[in-house]
């Protein structure tokens, strides 16, 4: 009978150890789940922050491009205006030469168009 009592106590001790181990595994599982959630939240926040920074950089680049394009357009418009003024001045100073150039250019364009 001592042996049965000893086996019963041993079984209870094993069961108690198993229950404690199960409880610790459950706690670890919960902690790990919480840790995964925290890492996921951190990754999401970092991704959003990176996206916002990239968006800011892109906006800055677009703004710089637009400003550069505006400057170039103003410069080209200014140059076109200067060329127009030079052409007007040439035509007013030498109208016969300008007319001859226009007739010659028209003739060449006509030849080129007739060949096609």
Contact present, 103 and 96 (Cβ < 8 Å): no
Predicted confidence at residue 76, as pLDDT, reads 93
Predicted confidence at residue 3, as pLDDT, reads 63
Written as one string, the DSSP assignment of 62-115 is: HHHHHHHHHHHHHHHHHHHHHHHHHHHHHHHH-HHHHHHHHHHHHHHHHHHHHH
Predicted confidence at residue 115, as pLDDT, reads 85
Phi, psi of 32 (to 5 degrees): -65, -40
Predicted confidence at residue 81, as pLDDT, reads 93
Written as one string, the DSSP assignment of 2-13 is: HHHHHHHHHHHH
> 39-83: per-residue pLDDT in tens?
898 889 998 999 999 999 999 999 999 999 999 999 999 999 999
Contact present, 90 and 98 (Cβ < 8 Å): yes
Please list, in sequence order, all residues whose beta carbon lies within 8 angstroms of the beta carbon of residue 98, skipping any fewer than 6 positions away: 90, 91
Average pLDDT, the chain: 88
């Amino acid at each position: 009978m001592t042996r049965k009592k000893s086996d019963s106590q041993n079984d209870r001790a094993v069961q108690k150890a198993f229950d404690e181990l199960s409880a610790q595994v459950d706690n670890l599982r919960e902690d790990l789940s919480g840790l995964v959630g925290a890492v996921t939240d951190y990754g999401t926040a970092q991704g959003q922050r990176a996206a916002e920074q990239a968006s800011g950089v892109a906006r800055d680049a677009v703004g710089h491009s637009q400003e550069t394009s505006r400057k170039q357009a103003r410069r080209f418009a200014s140059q076109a205006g200067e060329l127009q003024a030079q052409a007007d001045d040439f035509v007013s100073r030498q109208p016969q030469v300008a007319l001859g150039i226009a007739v010659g250019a028209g003739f060449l364009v006509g030849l080129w168009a007739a060949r096609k």
